[in-house]
Each structure stands twice: as structure tokens, then as C-alpha cells.
Amino acid sequence: MSTIVFLGAPPASDVHRPLGDYEWRTASSTVVNPSKSTVTRQHSMYLTAQQLDELPPATLEAVSRRISLVYQNVIFNDADEDDGEEDKSETFITWPPTAPYGSQSQSGDETHAPGQIPSFLDVSKSIAPVLESQFETQMEESQSYDNSGGESIARFPEFHFSLNALTSLSALAKANGKGSNVKVSMLLAVLEVDGPDTFRFKKGKDAGKESFVLKMILGDEEGNVCKLTAWREVAEDWGGCGSDIGAKRGDVLLLTDVMAGHEPATAVTLTASPWHKPKLEICYRTMPYLHEDHRLRPDLRLGASDACVRKVAAVVTWFENMAGLPAQ
């Protein structure tokens, strides 16, 4: 009968010794909730500093493919948008056509198989809302997790905003005054990013000049989705073409002073143009691509008493569950 002894990492001297009647194995920690019969996954926002390496490329590709299959290009096929400039009658824009559906994407991440494209309303209904109590349950579970020598993340959340200033997608969908644009602030997760792409003005005072356009699919913890279109230097900055860090899939964003519009039987549309001076803040990056991304992953446990931090954590939890991020 074999004997299993749980130890720390072997010293270098033992590693080079010939293996005889023993072997080293790596065992991962799991947290068991006494009230449940299943083992609960540990979310990435509770990883220790030693565990917090960037996700493997295969994992990122699998998550991206899973999200794209759910939201198959449902909003990146509009061709009659404008950037909200005051003198719309004098400015026309064009940009290279989007590659046909079923071809290789611009970023080269994946190729979508042809199929029926679902509507926004069908997609939002297919996403099960996350229970409000889920984050509190995970907080209790994380407190019992062994941090292996206290190497926990010590980056305190630095984002500050008023919950009363936020507008939800469900509230916009139910609001009266269809078609009217209102300036809003929202906390949403990035599901898809298209761009930034360049386009050229054909007429008006900017005729012949090139500028940028950026499109995103965004979602909230209730499973609602919307689209955002950013124009000009806003698209350049938010897309990471300038000195600012660009938004990526999986980021939880605080959007301030963006214009929101809604029509019956369609998704909420957000517009970010320089005329309204919108702002974007990356509150949390759920999918770290590089080691430098760790600075965008504060330890949300340190601010669990703050309602803003709990709000961000709820969006993080929803995205991780929806995207199927693997247990760590």
C-alpha cells in the first residue's frame, strides 16, 4: 500500500537524486463548501502572486472562441453609423469593408463557421443572470484558502465611483423616449473588440483626413448586452494606439459620459465621440495576456466592504462564469 505525504516544493538537491521508491507530484488546492456537494472553482481574482502568471495562449484562445460562438458577430454588421458630430450633413466617412462572415478574423484569433446569427434579444435571454449572493459565497470560500506562505496579492483597488451615478442596461431598455440619446455612466465587461480601424472622411472640413473607429460588445452581470462605437481620438486612445492602455476582451470597464440610445426590439447602443469628452477606466482585467497586466488585477478581497468593489467583483464573476475560465 502506497503512502502519500503532502510536502512543499522539493529542494534542488532532491530533484537531482535518482527516483527510487518515491516520486514528486504537483497537487492543486481546492476549496470545499460544506453546504454543497461539489468542489467550487477558485476565481482568478483570488489567485496568489505566485499563481498569477499570464494565462496560456491556448486558454485565451479557447475562451475567446467560446465567447465568439455565443455572440457571433451580432453587432459588427452596421454600416450606417456616424460619430455624433454636430454638422452631420457635411461629413461622410468610409472604411474598408469587414471581411465576409466565415473568413479569418482581422486579429487572426479564430475563424467562425457559417451559421445563423442570433439576435441581441435572443442572446441576452440565453445568459442566465448571476445571483447576488454568489460573490458573498465565494468570499467566504476564499477566506479559507491557504495562500502558501502569505504570498497574496497586495494591490488595493483604486477605482472610485458612485453607484448612484451608474445606469444599467436594463434601465435603458425600459426607458421611455425611444431613439433619444442620453449621457450615461456604466460598468460593463468587454465581450468582443473590433478595431481600432482607420477610415477616411470624404467630404466636409475633414475631407481626405484619416481617423479611427472602434467597436465593442459589452455586457453586464445581469446578462444584458449592448454595443459601443468610439470615434476619432477616443477610438485611438481606447484601442491602445496611443499612450493609454487599450481595452481588451475580458476587461471590466467604467465608462463615463458616453451617449446611449435605444430603439424597441434592438440592443442599446453606446457612442463615444470627442464632443462629449467620454472617459474609460479599466477596473479589472480578467484575462491577463502579459505579466504587466497584473497591475490591472487588484485584490478585490481587500475592498470587499466597499460597494463599488463588490459591484466590480459581480461583473468579474459573471464574465468568468460565462466565458468558462478554467479553475486555477
For 76-134, write each residue's pLDDT tens digit: 454 444 555 544 433 444 444 444 434 444 444 444 444 443 333 343 334 444 434 44
Cα-flanking dihedrals φ and ψ of residue 184, to 5°? -135, 165
pLDDT value of residue 301: 84
pLDDT value of residue 23: 62
pLDDT value of residue 97: 47
The residues that bridge with 227 in the sheet, in sequence order, are: 217, 269
Distance CA 306, CA 14 (A): 47
pLDDT value of residue 215: 94
Tell whether 136 is covered by a domain: yes
Distance CA 20, CA 11 (A): 17
Tell whether 17 is covered by a domain: no
Q: Please count the structural domains in the chain.
A: 1
The residue count of the chain comes to 328
Tell whether 225 is covered by a domain: yes
Tell whether 10 is covered by a domain: no
Domain that holds residue 205: 43-323
pLDDT value of residue 210: 85
CB half-sphere exposure, 71, CA atoms < 13 A: 28
pLDDT value of residue 300: 87
Tell whether 195 is covered by a domain: yes
pLDDT value of residue 9: 60
Which regions of the chain are under pLDDT 70?
A: 1-154, 176-180, 265, 326-328
pLDDT value of residue 205: 83
Kindly report the CATH number assigned to the domain that includes residue 155: 2.40.50.140
Tell whether 23 is covered by a domain: no
pLDDT value of residue 126: 40
Q: Which three cell numbers stand for residue 294?
A: 497584473
Tell whether 27 is covered by a domain: no
Tell whether 120 is covered by a domain: yes
Q: Answer for the pair 179, 251: CB distance below 8 angstroms, yes or no.
A: no
